[in-house]
Structure 1
Amino acid sequence: MACGMPVAAADTDAAANPIAACASAAAVTAVPAGLPMLDWSENVGYDAAGNLWVSRPYRNVVQRYDHTGALTATVPVEFPGAVRSGPDGLLYVVYGDSPTSVVRPGGLVRFDPTAAAPKPEVFVSGLTTMPNGAAFDAQGYLYVGASMSGVIRIRPDGSIDTAWTEQAPKTSANGVVVHDRTLYVTSNGGPLGRIQRVPIDAPADSSVVADLSSPLPAIPDFVDDLLIDRDGSLLVTTLGGQLVRVVPSTGAICAVLSGEPLTSVTAIPGTPGELIAGTERGAVLRIHLPD
C-alpha cells in the first residue's frame, strides 16, 4: 500500500478467537527432514539462478539445493537467519540469529551463490540484537528485523542508517517484506502475533495491520516470516502451524494452511501460486495455493 493512504484500524479483539479457514492450500515435501531440531530450517530463499537456499542455524550452515532437490553446496554461517538475493546478484545471509548475539554480535555475510564452493565475506557486523529477517528495497537498502530490538536499515555500502533506525518501531521484529515504499514486519514483542506497517519515508509513523491468534482460543500466535503476493496480500507463517493470508488494506485474515510450525516462506520464481516454506522439524515444503 502506498504511503499516506488511509487504512483500517486493527481489530483489538482479533487475537481473541482462532483464525477462520479459507480456501485450503496443499503442501508436499520438497526437501525431506533430517535430524529433528538439528536440521531446523530457519529461512528459505532463491538466488538469481533459481537455486534454493536453506538456513540451518543449529548446524551453522546455509545449504544450496537444485531444482531436483539435490544438495549442491554447504556454506558455513554462524546461526544463519534470512537468505536474500541482492541487487548485485550476490546472496546475503543474516548471521547471529540467536540470543548469543548480545555477546557474540551478528550481522550479514555475502557470497557468490553460483560458485562451486561459495566463500562468505562479512558485509555488516556488530549487530547485538538477534538479527533475523531481511528484505531489500528497490534502491538497494536492506532492512533487517532484529528480534531483540526492531528494524535496522542498512545502506548499500554496508553502513547502518542510524537516523532511520532510531525512528523505526522498537518492537521485537522478525520477518520483513517490502512493497512499494512500505515495509510489512512481523513482531512478537507486545503483543505476540502482530503485523506492522512501516512507511519507508516516515518510519516513525508505523501502524498495526493485524494481530494473529493461534488455533487455541484466546491465545495469540507467534508470527515468523512473510511474503506479499501478486494481489498485494500478505502470507504469514506462524509457530502455531498456520499460513495466514492478510489483506493489508482491511486487516482481513484467514488461514490457507494449518499443520506443523512454519518458520519461513518464499515464492518459487516463475511459478505463480507455488511457495516454498521452512519448518521447525527441518523439512522444506512446497505449497500450492488455491486458485
Structure 2
Amino acid sequence: MLSFRRCVAHVVVGAAVATTTSIGAAAVAGAEPVAACAQASQNVAIRSTVPLLDWSENFGIDEQGDLWVSRVMRGEVQRYDRAGRLTATVAVPAPGAVRLGPDGLLYVVTGNSPLAGSGGIVRFDPTEADPVPEPFATGFPQPNGAAFDDEGNLYVATGNGLHRLHRDGSEDMDWWAAVSVEGPNGVVIAGDSVYVTANFVADSGPVGRVLRLSRTNPAVATTIADLTSFGSLPDFVDDLVVRDGALYVTTLAGHLVRVDPSTGATCTILSTQPLTAVVADPADPAALLAGSEEGTVLRIRPAD
C-alpha cells in the first residue's frame, strides 16, 4: 500500500537496517515458528523500466490468463501476456488491486495514494482493444486491497476499514456496522474466511498483523500471526494470497512469508527487495508472482 503508514514503516525498517544485518523469520501469534523453512527460488518475470516510477502495486489476471499490473506512480494499469510482453495500457489514477469480477470485467481500485483524495473502484472489459474504465463505486479514502467472494460480493480495504459491496456497487451496511479492522491493507477470501493484513499501532507499538474474519459473522477478528523483521521490530504487511491451503504474505522488509491459517505457524520462504503484491502465476501453476516497490515483477517458486 502506498500510504502514510508505509512511509512510517520505511523509517522503522530503515533504522533496523542500520543496526543489524540479520533477517529473522516472522514471529508468530499463538504458535511456535516453523523451525526450518526451505527457501524459494526467484527470477525476473517482468523487468522494471524505470525503478520506483514503475512501482508494481498490485496485480490482476483476466480470463485469458493475461497479467494486469497496477503502476501506481504512473497512474495506469498495464497488461502483459504470458511471455511478459506489454500489450495494453489503461489510465487509472493511483491504481491498487485489480480483480476479475464474476461478470468477466476487471475491477480496479483507484485513489490508492495520500494525495489522491477520495477514491473508489472502476471496471472495464479487458477484451476490448482500448478498454475504458467506468465508475463502479466511489467515496472510499485511499482504497487498496480487494477480493471477490463466491457470491460476487467485493471486499475493499480502505483508509477507514474494510467494506463489502454488492454486485450492483451498493454497500452492505449491516456488514460494515459489524466489522472492525484497523489499518487494513490486503484481503483474500477462502470459503467463509476473510483474511486481512493490517498495519496499526497497538499498546505494544507498531504491528503488522494477519487476521481472519468470517463472511457471515464479521464482528470477531481472530489474529493469526504478527509478523516481525530484523529481530523483534515490526514489519509492514502488504498483500496476501491463498495457495494450497497456506497464506503467502508480502512485507516491506522484502519477505515472502508462508502462514498456516490453522495454527499461525510462519515461515519466511524468501528474503529479497521490498514486496507489494502476490498472486498465483497464470503461466506456471507451481509459481507465484510478486510485485515490488522497485517495479520488477518476480516469479517465485516455493520449494514445497
Q: Same fold (TM over 0.5)?
A: yes
- Looking at structure 1, the residues matched to 49 and 178 of structure 2 have their Cα atoms a distance apart, in angstroms, of 42
State whether structure 2 residue 265 is matched by structure 1 residue 252.
yes
SS for the counterpart of 2:189 is: strand
CA distance, structure 1, for counterparts of residue 260 and residue 291 of structure 2? 23
The alignment of Structure 1 onto Structure 2 pairs a total of residues equal to 273
Counterparts in 2 of 1:174 and 1:94: CA distance versus 1, 3 Å: same
In the alignment, does 2:94 pair up with 1:82? no
Misfit runs of 4+, over 4 Å: none
Match of 2:231 in 1: 217
Aligned partner of 2:156 in structure 1 is: 144
- Alpha-carbon RMSD across the aligned residues, in angstroms, is 1.7
Q: Deviations over 1:34-92 (max 9, x none)?
A: 21211100001211110000001110000000111111110000100000111111000
Structure 2 distance, partners of 1:220, 1:26, is: 25
1:179 aligned residue (187, 190, 197): 190
**How much does 1:192 deviate?**
2.3
Cα shift at 1:21: 5.9
Unaligned runs of 5+ in 2: 1-27
Q: Where does 1:1-291 land on structure 2 (aligned, <5 Å)?
A: 11=29, 22-101=37-116, 104-128=117-141, 130-146=142-158, 148-190=159-201, 191-214=206-229, 216-230=230-244, 232-269=245-282, 271-291=284-304
Can you give the 5+ residue segments of structure 1 that lack an aligned partner in the other structure?
A: 1-9
Query: Residue 96 of structure 2: SS of its match in structure 1?
Result: coil
- TM-score, with normalisation over the residues of structure 1? 0.90
> 1:144 deviation in Å?
0.5
Secondary structure of the residue aligned to 1:164 is helix
How far does the alpha carbon of each residue in 1:121-180 deviate from its partner, in whole angstroms, 9 at most, with x for none?
Answer: 01011112x10000000000000111x222111111101112211221231000000010
> Which residue identity is paired with 1:125?
T
Superposition deviation, residue 12 in structure 1: 7.0
- 1:271 Cα shift? 3.1
Equivalent AA in structure 2 for residue 142 of structure 1: L
Q: Give the structure 2 partner of residue 4 of structure 1.
A: none
> How high is the sequence identity, in percent, across the aligned residues?
53
Q: Which amino acid aligns with 1:279?
A: S
| Separation of aligned partners in 1, 2:122 and 2:293 | 23
Q: Hey, what's the Cα distance between the residues in 2 that align with 1:89 and 1:275?
A: 22
Contact kept in structure 2, 1:20 and 1:255, CA below 8 Å: no
